[in-house]
Chain A
Amino acid sequence: MNAPALLPERATDRQILTYYGLPAVKPSLWGGLVSGYIFIAGVGGSAQIIATAADFARDPRLAPVIRQGRYIALGAAILGAPLLIIDLHTPQRWYNMLRICRRTSPMSIGTWVLMSFGLSSFAVAALQYVSGRLRRPSRTMQTTMKLLEVPAALTGMAMSTYTGALLSATSTPLWAAAPCQIAALFGASAMASGTAALALAGQCRGASSEAGRALDRIAFLASAVEVVLMLSLRRRLYEKGVAEALGDRGSGLAYDFGAVMLGAGVPMLHHGRRILRPNRARRPSMMVSLAVLAGGFLLRHILLSAGNDSARRPNDYFRFAGGPRQ
């Protein structure tokens, strides 16, 4: 029992393949607030990861990186939650997010991830701050920090990538067509933004050059992975026939130049050059870090609005949902 082939098509009858061109699914109601949150969650999560990685490397010269990473992570957690609450259409019932845990809902998973990341980041940052004030930090404080930093990093990883799963676990054609690519891309972009944030923090607050070099290498790797993933995402969307939303002038150009070139391509080259000529030892340019951060936000925002736009195109959705290719 399968659906019959198309009725004999007539040139005049445009609505044969759609219902008067009306949308088949509904776009999400999310906008700048949500794309902002996704970006910030990424930065916070990866900042915590980098801080923890630096801590495990047990290189005293990385202390500022660790400290700044933890504060950035806490800042992100504190800033993220209100963004989400404001975006609710009945914000006074925000606490209902903690009413249940639904394994099938990335937003439910995300809520508990945000909770745990927030708490652990707060604890680590608090301990960090207190130990910073004491001349001789007690051993127990050190060990608890060491103990808490692992869950913080792990939840940081989740923070950076669950938002990808959140988008793809919908019926919006553009998001649903590339679940793995989007989540991976958000992860890579998060790391790039995280390192950029730390590089910026380093310049403002002062950091050792070794830390700078390590950050360069990480930034280069993250941006490279990001570029690769962006291009594979674009190809995947074409394969699935849902790239139209990203194809037309507006978001297509923004994606190609803004996110890909500005956000990842240029920084990758810049960090690459710095790695190849270590001796030039110039300080990593503020502009590049800002570009990465801007590119990171732009990437999320474009994917979000392009996704909403693709939901309004019935032909995109029908192609995604097993409809006839044409």
Chain B
Amino acid sequence: MKLRHTIADRVAGFVRDWSLPRQLAGEDPTREAAQSTMSRQLRPRLEEADTIGTSICPYCAVGCAQLVYAKAGNVIHIEGDPRSPINEGTLCPKGAATFGWLTSPQRLTKVRYRAPYSESWEERPLGWAMDRIAYLVKRTRDETFVSNLPDGTPVNHTLAIGSLGGATLDNEENYLIKKLFGAGLGMVWIENQARV
């Protein structure tokens, strides 16, 4: 509904939704006579969604299912999935705020970089950051890799690189972290919130 600005619009809108004549014609002034065109044509905004996917609430481990409504690549609403036997369409305050989390004004969109000893952030392209991180990982690993202990026991690890994170991540993400960091680079400091 375009907001009525011009005088002509206002007059036309007023006449179209004028209740007095309808009231005099016998319509109930508390119901039909008072209903405006906008109210008559009102529809839930979910019907504008072009994609509806099923997601799992990112918050706690109960694992409630959610329906994600998106329009033109943007999420327009998230609410409980009535098909799930776990939550039967209900959500707790955090689950109900999932839409608010995805659209939080504090979300990051650009990579930020803080150079050593610097006192401020700088914005950097994603590709540059990935290359720089790969370089740093290789440098630190090469400088600190230990193949065998002094007594000859094979350890094949580096104690200089650590990784924290995974309880909020998908199984696929955790799998690749353990595979690359553990089996690939020989890191042992790999932990997540399971112990927090």
Residues of A that sit less than 8 Å from B by CB: 92, 95-96, 98-102
Q: How far is the CB of A85 from chain B (nearest CB, A)?
A: 14
A207 → chain B, closest Cβ, in Å? 43
B76: CB under 8 A from chain A? Answer: no
Within the complex, the shortest CB–CB distance from A107 to chain B, in Å, comes to 14
Check: B55 CB closer than 8 A to any chain A CB.
no
Q: Which 3 pairs across A and B sit closest by C-beta, in order of nearness?
A: A100-B19, A99-B19, A100-B29
Chain B interface main SS type: loop
Q: Chain A: which residue is nearest B11 at the CB level?
A: A95
B155: CB under 8 A from chain A?
no
Q: What are 21 pairs between A and B in contact, CB < 8 Å? A: A92-B10, A95-B10, A95-B14, A96-B14, A98-B20, A99-B14, A99-B17, A99-B18, A99-B19, A99-B20, A100-B19, A100-B20, A100-B23, A100-B29, A100-B33, A100-B34, A101-B20, A101-B23, A101-B29, A102-B29, A102-B30
What is the CA–CA distance of A242 and B29 in the complex, to the nearest angstrom? 34
Please, which residues of chain B bring their CB within 8 A of the CB of A100?
19-20, 23, 29, 33-34
Smallest beta-carbon distance B86→chain A, Å: 35
Residues of chain A within 8 A of B18, CB atoms compared: 99
**Across-interface contacts of A98 in B (CB, < 8 A):** 20
The CA-CA distance from A99 to B17 in the complex, in Å, is: 8
A99-B33 Cα distance, complex, nearest whole Å: 10
Q: Interface 1/0s, chain B 7-31, versus A by CB < 8 A? A: 0001000100111100100000110
B138 CB → nearest A CB, Å = 61
Question: What A residues does B20 contact at CB under 8 A?
Answer: 98-101
**Chain A residues closer than 8 Å to B30, beta-carbon distance:** 102
Give the distance to chain A from B96, nearest Cβ to Cβ, in Å: 24
Rounded to whole angstroms, the CA-CA distance of A165 and B96 in the bound complex is: 45
* From A95, A98, A99, A101, residue with most partner B Cβ within 10 Å: A99
A102 and B33 CA atoms in complex are apart in Å by 11
B-side contacts of A92, CB under 8 Å: 10
Cα A99 to Cα B35 in complex, Å, equals 11
CA distance A315 to B192 in the complex (A): 54
CB distance from A105 to the nearest CB of B (A): 10
A103 smallest CB distance to B (angstroms): 8
Within the complex, the shortest CB–CB distance from B28 to chain A, in Å, comes to 11
Q: State the CA gap A130–B23 with chains docked (Å).
A: 38
B23 contact set on A, CB distance < 8 A: 100-101
Q: State in angstroms the CA–CA spacing of A102 and B34 once bound together.
A: 10
CB proximity of B195 to chain A, nearest CB, Å: 40
Kindly state the separation between the CA atoms of A280 and B19 in the bound complex, as whole angstroms. Answer: 60
- A96 and B23 CA atoms in complex are apart in Å by 15
| A245 shortest CB reach to chain B, Å | 32
Chain B, residue nearest A102 (CB): B29
- Within the complex, what minimum Cβ distance (angstroms) separates A168 from chain B? 21
Give the docked Cα–Cα distance between A101 and B10 (Å).
20
Query: Shortest distance in angstroms between A108's beta carbon and chain B's nearest beta carbon?
Result: 9
* Nearest opposing residue in chain A for B18, CB measure: A99
Distance in angstroms between the alpha carbons of A100 and B34 in the assembled complex: 8
Report B37 CB to chain A, min CB distance, Å: 13
Q: Shortest Cβ distance from B30 into chain A, in angstroms?
A: 8
Query: Who on chain B is nearest to A108 by CB?
Result: B29
The CB with the most chain A CB atoms within 10 A, among B10, B29, B34, is that of B29
Alpha-carbon distance between A92 and B29 when the two chains are bound, in angstroms: 23
Taking the closest CB of chain B, its distance from the CB of A114, in whole angstroms, is 16
Set of chain A residues within 8 Å of B29, measured between Cβ atoms: 100-102
* Residues of chain B within 8 A of A101, CB atoms compared: 20, 23, 29
Residues of A within 8 A of B19 (CB): 99-100
A-side contacts of B10, CB under 8 Å: 92, 95
Closest B residue, CB atoms, query A104: B30
Among residues of B, the one whose C-beta sits closest to the C-beta of A98 is: B20
Q: Pick the most buried of A92, A96, A100, A101: most chain B CB atoms within 10 A of its CB.
A: A100
Task: Write the nearest CB–CB distance from B51 to chain A, whole angstroms.
Answer: 37
Q: Which residues of B contact A96 (CB under 8 A)?
A: 14
Question: How far apart are the CA atoms of A92 and B34 in the complex, in Å?
Answer: 19
**Shortest distance in angstroms between B36's beta carbon and chain A's nearest beta carbon?**
9
In Å, the complex CA distance between A96 and B15 comes to: 10
Tell me the minimal C-beta distance from B84 to chain A in angstroms: 36
Chain A residues closer than 8 Å to B34, beta-carbon distance: 100
CA distance A101 to B23 in the complex (A): 8
The minimal Cβ–Cβ distance linking B34 to chain A, given in whole angstroms, is 6
Nearest B-chain residue to A96, judged by Cβ: B14
9 A-B pairs besides A95-B10, A99-B19, A100-B23 with CB distance below 8 A are A92-B10, A98-B20, A99-B14, A99-B20, A100-B20, A100-B34, A101-B20, A101-B23, A102-B29
CA distance A99 to B34 in the complex (A): 9
